[in-house]
Structure 1
Amino acid sequence: MKALLTALLILFPVLANAADINCKGKVTWVMDYPQQCSGNTAFKTSGSNGKWICPPSDKSNAIVLAALAADKSVEVYIDDKNGSISCSTLPHYVSARYVIINP
C-alpha cells in the first residue's frame, strides 16, 4: 500500500501535466477584446492555427506584449479538454493556463 501511494505521488504531476498542449510560437497578433477574454487581451501565435488565445492574467498580457515587442516566441499551455482539441483544432478565444516567454 505504501509503495502504491508513493508511485501515485510521483506520477500525479506527470499525469496532471499530460492534459496540457503547448501551442508555442511567435506572437503574430495582439488585440484588446475584454468582453471575450475576461478583461484581458487576445493574441495569436504562429502555432495557434489562426485562432485567438486569451491570456490567463494581467501578467500574461505583459508577457505576450513583451514577446511581440522583442520578437521572441512564447510557450502557451492550454487544457486539451480530455484530448478533444489540439493546436490545429483550437476553438476561437480559448483560455491559456499559462504563458512562458522564451529567452
Structure 2
Amino acid sequence: FILKKKQLKVERDRLVTEDIVRSWDRAEIDRQFRRVEEENLSLQRQVENLQSVLNESEHQHAQRLIDFNTRNRRETEVETARIRSSQSAAERALEGREK
C-alpha cells in the first residue's frame, strides 16, 4: 500500500513537471515567435526603404539620361548648323571664283 502511494505521488510529480516543462516550452516558443515576427517586420521596413531608395536612384538615373540625350542632341544640332554654314560659305566662295 505504501509503495502504491509512493508510486502515485511520483507519477503526479512527473505529470506536474511535464506540465511545467510544456508550459515553459510553449512560453519560449511564443517568445521566439514574437522575436521572429518583430525581425520580419523590421526586415520588411528595410526592404521598403531600400525599394524607395532604388526607385529614387532609378528616377535620377533616367533624368540624367534624358538630360544627357537632350544636351547631346543640342550639341549635334549646333555642329550640324556649323557644318552647313561652312559648306554654304565654301560653296559661295567656289561660285565667286568660278565667275
TM-score (structure 2 length as normaliser): 0.24
Larger % of strand: which? Answer: 1
Larger RCO: Structure 1 or Structure 2 (Cα < 8 Å, ≥ 6 residues apart)?
Answer: 1
Q: Which of the pair has more CA radius of gyration?
A: 2
TM-score (structure 1 length as normaliser): 0.23
Larger % of helix: which? Answer: 2
